[in-house]
Each structure stands twice: as structure tokens, then as C-alpha cells.
Structure 1
Amino acid sequence: MGIINDSGEQFLHRYLNNAAPTGFESSGQQIWLDYIRPYIHTYFTDTYGTTVGVINPDAPYKVVIEAHADEISWFVNYITKEGYVYVRKNGGSDTMIAPSKRVNIHTDNGIVKGVFGWPAIHVRDEENDKAPTLKNIFIDLGCSSKEEVEAKGVHVGSVITFEDEFMILNERYYCGRALDNRIGGFMIAEVARLLKENNNQLPFGLYIVNAVQEEIGLRGAEMIAHRIKPDIAVITDVCHDTQSPMYNKITSGDLACGKGPVLTYGPAVQNNLLRMIIDTAQRKEIPFQRASASRATGTDTDAFAYSNSGVASALISLPLKYMHTTVETVSKTDVEQVIQLIYEFLVQLPADHDFRYMK
């Protein structure tokens, strides 16, 4: 389709390579805002860093398209007298992948480098040959004492991210850490760009929301939903590709990278809104897949749907391999199709549409 241009892909590189852990998203939010600014009329931010670009800010009917900006990470939790650092999770970080990873510890003095150490396979005995857990993973900064660690600016509460960079895999996939869900922030920014470049005059206010703190409970979306009070919210996040080994399609569904956006059914999803999105996809010949959620979707959709007096909400997901690792992988074609679907939905949406089931 060629929706993503060179400028957009350069922005994606910068945005994904920048660390923006939950609670510390501001640097990534600034990169995002700088990119989206030419395509919006105004913007605002809230106390915790959620950033909102607005088109037609004076329009009474308000439509949100939303992604979340934060990535999982770690906190320094304890420093031994020998200078080793033990951690706790900031979001759903996976202890299994930590050993042998390089890390960046973010301090007031800048980045301090470290590694998650792990004993060699041939020296581990029955006592210490255990799976990685918060009780046994540790970071080595090359220091020999707690005082030397602290002299570098590292303290309890310092936030830690993996040192991994974005790459393109086999020319067909975007791969790296934090695609969950900064790839969503990229996609909604690209929707704004298309609206501007195609000179679309929307008959409603569009709020392009990059929310913080999703990874620890949808907190940023909760706050901003109450501030905006939208009439409609279309959320984009990632979901699991279930084709690679070790996934159970019976419990996790049959979803695949390369087969298009995933549309979710569930209590938080407003069915009339979902039907309009499906109709748009079918009319524009955009392939899509279907998923179901038994209770909550586990995404910011839930925060918007149940805010205020209830907001008509829907979820458009991007299939992703290897969630919450440093090699999260998505199809470039799927990314373009999510952008296209959100864009086509917006340009066909009439002002003041009433999505209620009974009127």
C-alpha cells in the first residue's frame, strides 16, 4: 500500500529506540508530539504525561483514537554491599529473558550501563540451577561496592530498561522492544498525517491520544477519558500472534501476523460501533481477523468504555509475536492496514452519530 513514507519510518526508528518506561514516558511523548504537531490544530498534556493532539477542538462531538506510550521495565530494589543490584518489575517484565541482557539504568547523571548476570551452565548445581525469578536475577554494573554503585547516581527507585534497538526483519517485519505499544502511537500519528495530507475536513473533534501507564493498569487512559469526555473511542493495541511455537489456539485464538487487523468482541466493545468498523473494512477491502474477550479486553478500551456515562468504544489490535520481550515482531503490512482502517473509519463517520442500541 505504501502508506508509510520515509519520514514516518525514520520517526518510528527514533520513537522505538527511545526508552519510555511506565511512569517515565516524557521523552518519548516529546518525540511523538514533535512528529504529530504539523498535522493537528492544538494539543494538551495532563499531569502524568498523557499527550493529546486535537483536530477541530471546538467541535462538540468528540472522537478519540488512542494508543499507549509506556513500555515495561524494572526498578532498582536493593543494592548489596558487594555492588550487585536486585530489581522489581515495573509492568509485566519477564524474568525469564533477563539473564545475559544488557541494561540501561536511568539516573540524573545519565545512562549507567549494566548487565543481568547469570552463572555459567557448567557451574550451576542443583541448588542454584533454577529458573530466573525476582529472587535470583541481579544486575552487575562492574562495581565492587554499594558505595561505588551509588556514586554513579544509581539508587533504589532508579528505572532500568533493556539495551535493544529497533530493526527490520526480512524486509517484512518491524522488530524490537516496546512495540507494545509505541507502534500504536506511531499508527495513530500516521492517521493524523493522512488526514492532513488528504485535506480531510472532519465534522467532529478528533482527539489523538497517546496515554501513559497502561502497563500497570490502564491508569493514563482512565485519567484522560474523564478529562476529554468523548462520544466515541477507538483504541489500538497489540494482541498475540498465535502461529509460532508454544501457543495454544484453543485458548488464545487463531491469529496471525500478516492477515490484517484484529477486531475484538467483548462486553466493553460497543457492538454498533464495531459493526461500523467491520462495514468499513469490508467496503474498503481491508482484511481483518476476529478475537473475543471473556470479560475485560485488558487494554485501554476498558478504561474508555466505562468512563463518564459510558463511551462507545472499540478495539483494533495489531498481531504481535513475542510480547513483552526485546524482539516483539509485527508485520509491516498489518501496520499499514491498521492505519488504513482507522483512517477510513474516521472519514466516513458522520457528526453526532448515535450508537445507542435503543433510542
Structure 2
Amino acid sequence: MSDTSKPWNSPMPNPQFDLMRRILSAPSPVGLEGAMTYGVLKPHFESFAPADWQLQQFMGHAGVVLDTHPGRDDLFKVMIIGHADKIRMQVRSIGEDGKIWINTDSFLPTVLIGHEVTLFSEDPEAPGRYRRIDGGTVEALGAIHFSDPAQRSGEKGIKKEQIYLDLQIHGENKKQQVENLGVRPGDSIILDRPIRPGFSPDTFYGAYLDNGLGCFVTAEVARLIAEAGGTEQVRVLFTIASYEEIGRFGSRVMAGELRPDAIIAVDVNHDYVAAPGIGDRRMQPLEMGKGFTMSVGAIASEQLNRIIETTAREHDIPMQRDIVGVDTGTDGMAGVLASVDCAATSIGFPIRNMHTISETGYTKDVLAAIHVITRAVKALDALPNPHQEFRNNHPRLDQAGPLAHQGSDKPEKTDK
């Protein structure tokens, strides 16, 4: 039976899954994020946002911010960030034989071979107008028959310089045929694989969970906060950023512009338990299906983490601690990168096969992230003075007390 009071324990409803699919399928390679931000998320925000909330747009990128209390700089500002940009390939040059040589960006070259892609070509005669070319495949060797023995055995890999796009061009003047299509160096290419339900219950897979999922979570938190009547002393900035995949530039611009008091980044994480060859490295046992993840380390605020973890425990929302060392690797770093004084952390969900065409996630982990952030925002709103709460309550390790037991002597847990 579905537990409506704890939706993270129930299958994701079909309309919610369809929204997630629409967000993830929007073609939004780095620098061209408008399909997701303006094409899907902006109208979605406008469909439920109260009249006094305001959508903010930017000049240098296609990010958007839905602001619950525009102009109220006296309120405690919480920025919740997902990033819309997808890693992409780009046309590098066109060969005389019709091969379109491409840069692979943040993909491993070997995970691309044989997959269908979409190329977005800007019309040379009408700058700013784009056309799509479907049906091309990413190739490197052409056939096993043309590879050397080391490649056949797996001892030798594929270099990124060997990757090209094949549009099945044939006949005379192959390069000219490609150029006649308007294909030029710099054109963006993305993988063609919309998400779909997986074989096991409550799973899904496809391309670009990184990080349409963070945008989906941000949008769903906004909807739930709106349906609950908003907030009183917390100004929430529901933020869809850009440029994360090339250095987290979009979010740091937004943090610099809007100067939040707290940042909660939402981004995918790794399922280290399922990752091949990772077990012997003694990574933290993050695992798909065990709940959302919360960053510990780097710039992650212990005060903000305390509120999130307390919220998760109070509502029995499954949580995993993610050890991030010197860098969260997410937009959670936006505040310090923008030289803004703010508390920050990063919330995620373990996925498999990151930066491939078959990224795999678990809907209940995503739902757990949505609802823990929503409830944490409500907990922040209930504080007597959020500004002073963070200024005055930094952890003091000099006040740490000694343990009253030695491990083996620890008393059994009781219900008291």
C-alpha cells in the first residue's frame, strides 16, 4: 500500500516521472541550456508559483531563479541549486572523407562508440537559428578488423583524438556534403537516449541524469513549498544554474549576484558499491536504493548538515553520508568560489555509470532528496533567528566530551 505520508517509500507517480523525463530530455549542452531552463522549467515554475514570487533571468547565461520573496534582503536567503548544462561533444574539424572529428569533453572515449547522437548546427546564413541532425553515430576504429591486437585484447584503449561522428556520407565530395549541411567547428553534439523505467522496480536509466535530476529536485521542492503556503522568514531562491560541467561558473555568478546565506546544491553522486574495481579502494559504501546523500567535508556547513540530518531522522527519510574531502565537486562550492559568506552543503543520490549513455538511478532516492530538502527549508523557517543561528552555533571541538564507554562496553540501545 502506498504511504502518502512518506512518499519516499512509495513508487514515483507517473505524472511526476513524466515531468522528470521531460526535464532530462531537454537538449541543453553547455552554453545552450535554454531548452531546459526556458523550454521546460520556466513554464513549469509559472504553472504553480504564487503571484508574489518572481522569476529572474540573466544576460550571460540561460540560468533562471524562482524567488519567493523578491527584494527582501533582510530575510535569510537559501539558494537551492541544480545545474541544467549537459556535458557535450563538439565538432572539431571535417575530414575530406566526410568524417566529423569531434571533441569528447567529459566523456570517456570508449563509452561513446556506436551510440546515436544529435548534432545541433547553427545556420551559417541565420546566426542564432539552430537545426538538428539526427541519426549520426560516434565511431573510432570502424571495425574490429582494423584494430591492432592490443586493442582487441583490451590492453590498449581508444584515444580521444580518434573519435569522430559518422553521418553515413558517401559519394563524391564528402567534405562538401557535410559542409552543405551547415556543420561547422564548434557545433554541439549530445547523446540521444531519453530516460525510461529500468528492469528492477523503481529504477530508471538513460543519458544525462547528471544533472537534470538536480533541476527536477529543485523544481519539485519549489512546488511543494508553494503548495504548503510558502515561507515567512526564509527567502528561497530555486536556482537552475549553467556551466557546472566546465568549472561551476554559472552558480558562482548567481551566488555573487544574489548573495545567499545558505546554499544547498543538488547533484548526482556515485554508487560506489556497484562501481567496478572500486571496492578495494575502500570508498564510502554509497549505494543506489539506500536514500539521499549528504556531503561531509570540504566547505560543507556542519550547522546546515545538522538541520538536514535531524530532519531526515525525524521523518525517517533514508540518508547516506558522502565524504567529499577538499571539494564537494558540485555547485555547493558556489559561495566560496564567488567570495560570498554563506553556509553550504550538497545533497545527492547515488547513480551508476555517470557520464555515459546508460546512467541509472532509483526513484525513491530522488524522492528522499526532494522531501528532506523541503522539510529542512521548513525547519529553517521555524528558527527564531536563522541569521544568528548560523553565526553563533559553529561547532566547538574544544568543548567535545570524552566517551563514557570503550566500544565493547557500549550499552545496548533501548526504546527509552
Q: State the TM-score, normalizing by the size of structure 1.
A: 0.94
Q: 1:152 to 1:128 in 2, by over 3 A?
A: farther
Secondary structure at the counterpart of residue 322 of structure 2:
strand
- Aligned CA-pair RMSD: 1.9
1:346 aligned residue: 377
3-state secondary structure, aligned to 1:225: helix
Change (3 A) 1:247 1:192: farther
Task: Work out whether residues 79 and 237 of structure 2, in 8 Å CA contact, stay in contact via their aligned partners in 1.
Answer: yes
2: distance between equivalents of 1:276 and 1:259? Answer: 20
**Is the alpha carbon distance of 1:245 and 1:219 closer, same or farther for their aligned partners in structure 2, counting shifts above 3 Å?**
closer
* Contact 1:305-1:312 within 8 A present in 2 as well: no
Inter-partner Cα distance in structure 2 for 1:341 and 1:230 = 20
Where in structure 1 are there 5+ consecutive unaligned residues? none
Q: Which residue of 1 aligns with 2:407?
A: none
Instruction: Report the CA distance between 1:132 and its aligned residue.
Output: 2.1
| Higher deviation after alignment, 132-141 or 216-225 | 132-141
How far apart, in 1, do the equivalents of 2:43 and 2:360 lie? 25
Counterpart of 1:67?
A: 82
8 A Cα contact 1:58 1:205, kept in partner: no
CA contact (8 A) 2:68 2:230 kept: no
- Check the 8 A contact 1:262/1:291 in 2, yes or no: yes
Does the 8 Å contact 1:25/1:69 carry over to 2? yes
Percent of aligned positions that are identical: 27
Contact 2:349 2:365 in 1 (8 A): yes
SS at match of 2:120: strand
Deviation at 1:358, TM superposition (A): 6.3
Q: In the TM superposition, what whole-angstrom CA distance separates every residue of 1:71-123 from its partner, at most 9, and x where no partner exists?
A: 11100001111110111134x12211111111111013521131113422244
Residue of structure 2 in register with 1:95 after alignment: 109
Show CA shifts across 1:241-284 (max 9, x none).
01225142444321001111111111311111111111111111
Aligned residue for 2:34? 26
Whether the 8 Å CA contact 1:266–1:292 is kept in 2: the answer is yes
> Secondary structure of the equivalent of 2:161?
coil
Distance 1:223 1:198, change over 3 A: same
| Higher radius of gyration, 1 or 2 | 2
5+ long unaligned stretches in structure 2: 1-5, 123-129, 395-416
Moved more, 197-206 or 28-37: 197-206
Equivalent in the alignment of 2:144: 121
2:59 matches 1:42: no
CA distance in 2, matches of 1:344, 1:127: 54
Counterparts of 1:329 and 1:244 in 2: how far apart (Å)? 11
SS of residue matched to 1:353? helix
Q: Is the contact made by 1:65 and 1:208 (CA closer than 8 Å) also made in structure 2?
A: yes
Distance 2:253 2:98 in 1: 39
Matches of 2:121 and 2:111, distance apart in 1: 23
Q: 1:141 to 1:214 in 2, by over 3 A?
A: same
Answer yes or no: is 1:53 the counterpart of 2:66. yes
On the 8 A contact 2:293/2:319 being kept in 1, the answer is yes
AA aligned opposite 1:102: E
Give the whole-Å Cα distance in 1 for the aligned partners of 2:393 and 2:68: 30
